[in-house]
Each structure stands twice: as C-alpha cells, then as structure tokens.
Amino acid sequence: NDSGDSARFFRFGIEGRLDVFELKGVQARDWEDMASVRLGKRNWLYFADVGDNGRSRKEVRVHRLEEPQGIGRTIEKIETFTLKYPDDPRNCEAFIVDPRSGDFYLVTKEDGPSWVYTAASPKASQTTLLKKLGSLKVDTGMGKFGRYVTAGDADRAGKHVVLRTYSGALEYTVTGRFQDWWKSKPASVNVPLTGQAEAVCYAPDGQTIVTTSDGSPCQVHVIKLAK
C-alpha cells in the first residue's frame, strides 16, 4: 500500500491473503514499489518510499529486510537507504534492483519522457546521491495513461526488465551491462486493462509476470510471456 497506510506488507498466494507483516519504527510516507531479490544466499525484500506527487521531497527512502518466514509479525531488523536526486525532486513509482550487483534504479512518472536514475552500491544509514542516466520514452497507448510509469521489476537472472503503465507493459532485454537496460528496444507485453494498474513483478521462473491494480478488492493477473 502507498500513502495513507502504515508501514506493512502482505504475503498471499493464489488462494488469497495469508500474512501481514509490520515494520517497526518505519514511516510509510508514500510507498510506491517493492522488489524481491536474492543476493548471495539471502533473500531480500525492498520497499521504495519514493512517491512524491507534489515534487517536494528533498530525499526519498528505500527500506530493506530479509524475507521473513512463518506467520505474520512485527519486524524490527530493517535497513534504510536514503536517496537524493542530483537535480529537482521527482515523482517516482518504479523501483528496480539489479539482482547481481544490488544497484538501485528509479524510473520517474512523467507525462512525457521519464527519467532514469541509479544508485550504485548504495549504503544503508547514509545518503546516496543518485546518478541521472538519461530520459526514456514510454508509451503503451491511451494518451498520458500509457506514458505514466507506475511500476518496474527485473527478473532473477538480470536479463530482462519490465515496466508497467496504466494501460500496458513493456519488457526490455539486457544485452550488455545491466545499467544500460533502458537503452534497448522494448517489446510490448499483452496485459489486461484494469483499474489503476500500479504493480508488476516477475515470477521466479522469469517466464511469467504478475500484475495488479490499486484499490481493494483488486484483481491479480498472472501472464505467461511469449519467449
């Protein structure tokens, strides 16, 4: 959940919601995206508090914790990364982690070309100045609803990146360095039209994406990619 809720997240399967986890001592100002990444032998969850509709935040934050097992509970062991833009504050809803290096990528939400930023080797409990990589033209149709980037994810192998808009999704193939993923020509992903579509992720097999919308109740769509 984004603005208006407490710092918590939900784990659920095809059968429905299973567990609720609370983050102790963390503020949920405007959580907009999350990532599940295996680095080394540890599974991490990242929660990106990067939304800024008023474009007024001097700094944004990403919270990281080891993926919990068992039933829902309060989690106390949390790392927080503070990020600062090198230019003006930006509204962002798409957060991506390179599964090999742990570097962060943020794609801003714009009515026009989006901006791509990165945080290389970010350190918790200190401020990292983001690096601006360049502009990215996104358009999945339906006017501005196809230009607003609302979510993103990388597959576990670091070979593909998917971006979601309100009207569709695009998949980028990593052909060289991961940091250049946004320069490749994307392929359109056939996703159903929903309400306020604001989430997308890869399944562990890298051949399937899962996407859903804002609001409650909401539909969750599982889509096999044509590869």
Q: What's the pLDDT tens digit per position in 52-69?
A: 999 999 999 999 999 999
Smallest CA-to-CA distance from 26 within 73, 93, 76, 68 is with 76
**pLDDT tens digits, 118-138:** 999 999 989 999 999 999 999
Q: What does the pLDDT read at residue 216?
A: 83
Q: Which residues contact 121 (CB under 8 A, 6 or more apart)?
A: 101, 102, 103
Q: What does the pLDDT read at residue 209?
A: 97
Q: What does the pLDDT read at residue 215?
A: 85
Residue 138, classified by CB atoms within 10 Å of its CB into exposed (0-12), middle (13-18) or buried (19+), is buried
Cα–Cα distances (Å) from 192 to 9, 18, 140, in that order, read 25, 25, 12
Q: What does the pLDDT read at residue 218?
A: 85
Which residue is listed with tokens 């980028």?
A: 172
Q: Which residues contact 136 (CB under 8 A, 6 or more apart)?
A: 107, 113, 114, 115, 116, 182
**What are the residues facing 116 on neighbouring strands?**
107, 134
Smallest CA-to-CA distance from 225 within 178, 197, 191, 181 is with 191
The HSE-up count of residue 165 (CA atoms within 13 Å, CB side) is 27
pTM, to two decimals: 0.96
Q: Are 119 and 83 in contact (CB under 8 A)?
A: yes
Rg of the chain, C-alpha, whole Å: 16
Intervals of the chain under pLDDT 50: none
